[in-house]
A and B are shown apart, each in its own frame.
Chain A
């Protein structure tokens, strides 16, 4: 059985990092959250985002679910929730839900504490106290089955479907065999490959839900009277040899591996532990999609790129895998695994094994290229009016 050395949590699976999260409830406190994290130390991480104070119903629930999910990710040992005081998502609502997962939580209201300077001061003080309470936590031996592994692709090109994605898929197959959870998302990138995914669903209900979600994403383009071709594949994807969304999707789905699909969760919805391969319904924008999976509890992300993305996440290590030999060379400092060797003849299975070993060592504390360089992107998916209308219609 495979193991890693993680941080045990009194509630839920172990973390692979041990952070205090500083979570703003709206854009109004994003800069304050950043400042608190920067001043307190490298184990205190902010999750700045652009959501407004008064999002419509539906959108608000998704944002709140994301904030709570982020605060209860296994990599987070304690949290500070920061609001201006006018947000419909209240700091206490978010803090209570995080506390329910047995995390110490503090709240700061900028209006109550007496302005931004006072909020930063109070935030640094509380984050320092929270950190002091968790900093002595020691890593212990944990079973690989307790990992939730999110896989993502961004800046795809023709090598993604040939090398990096199927190699990451081979790592997912290994984790699922060891009893863990692997998840991939980006529903627009199922278009043209959904029949293959549908065949792999474990039951009819799941199959129907999956096909319905793909239809919804495809009909959004039809609703607007535009086609996907300008954006999917993107101009960069096209330069890399991808002609259509069908071609991109057929390459993209291989990053989840070959095991049966056991579930489909909403954006930022909690992922099962020991759940096998599970899909998450997210948009195609990679930063938002990664955040959805981290909020769903993924401790580690693998991110494949052909053209060379450098993205990371403040709370979950992101393992960069490229199948493009030029990118492997030019962006060597930003890549963790070179899968371009597949094109020279290394077997997908052997590269999958290398990625799985990297996953376990990163889970045990080895830092990824994005972590070393503190490349941390964070964005929450905001449901648009037509999506909200679709959701209301479907429920």
Chain B
């Protein structure tokens, strides 16, 4: 597997990533060692889903595979689940283009 497994719980695919992918069904309170500290899960996160390793603000770029995959749409704390409820795509956004045309 490419990347580094953190505490047998998460896969950190590239050094620049600010999220980690759960490789088990994770439970609130689980501790993921990262960068000399411990990130404590604030909620349950299912297998394959992402956990923030650092605090993020709306508009911040979410990085996985060492590449931008989304922008945060809300404040996200370290240890929170990152998914469609607090992050969104920046690509293929015909809805945004349509709004800009109207404005």
Contacts and interface: CB of A to CB of B under 8 A. Distances in A.
A345 B94 contact: no
Contacts of A246: 67-70, 89-91
Interface in B4-45: 11, 13, 21-23
A232 B69 contact: no
Contacts of B64: 247, 250
B103 interface: no
Given A247-B69, A250-B64, A348-B2, A221 B82 contact: no
A221 to B, nearest CB: 4
Interface in A280-304: none
Interface in A183-239: 188, 191-193, 196, 218, 221-229, 232, 238
B67 A241 contact: no
B69 A192 contact: yes
Given A162-B21, A241-B48, A247-B64, A227 B89 contact: yes
Given A241-B49, A243-B82, A244-B87, A222 B21 contact: no
A110 interface: no
Contact of B89 (A224, A225, A245): A245
10 closest Cβ pairs, A-B complex: A158-B48, A228-B92, A241-B48, A244-B89, A225-B98, A222-B94, A247-B69, A241-B49, A227-B95, A221-B94
A243 B70 contact: yes
B81 to A, nearest CB: 10
A191 B91 contact: yes
A163 B91 contact: no
B75 interface: no
Interface string A320-350: 0000101000000000000000110100100
Q: Interface residues of A: mostly helix, strand, loop or mixed?
A: helix
A238 B84 contact: yes
Given A158-B50, A222-B93, A246-B91, 5 more contacts: A221-B92, A225-B94, A225-B95, A250-B64, A250-B67
Contacts, number: 116
A244 B94 CA distance: 15
Interface in B52-103: 62, 64-65, 67-70, 82-84, 87-98
A240 interface: yes
B93 A227 contact: yes
- Which of B48, B70, B82 is most buried by chain A, counting CB atoms within 10 A of its CB? B48
A310 interface: no
A166 interface: yes
A161 B65 CA distance: 9
A157 interface: yes
A47 interface: no
A245 B91 contact: yes
B24 to A, nearest CB: 9
A159 interface: yes
A243 B46 CA distance: 13
A243 B93 contact: no
A343 B93 CA distance: 33
Contacts of A163: 1
Nearest to B85: A243
A174 B22 CA distance: 30
B69 A243 contact: yes
Contact of A227 (B65, B84, B92): B92
Nearest to A326: B47
9 contacts: A158-B49, A162-B13, A222-B92, A225-B97, A241-B46, A243-B82, A247-B64, A342-B1, A343-B11
Contact of A193 (B46, B48, B67, B94): B67
Contacts of B48: 157-159, 240-241, 306, 324
Nearest to B92: A228
Nearest to B66: A250
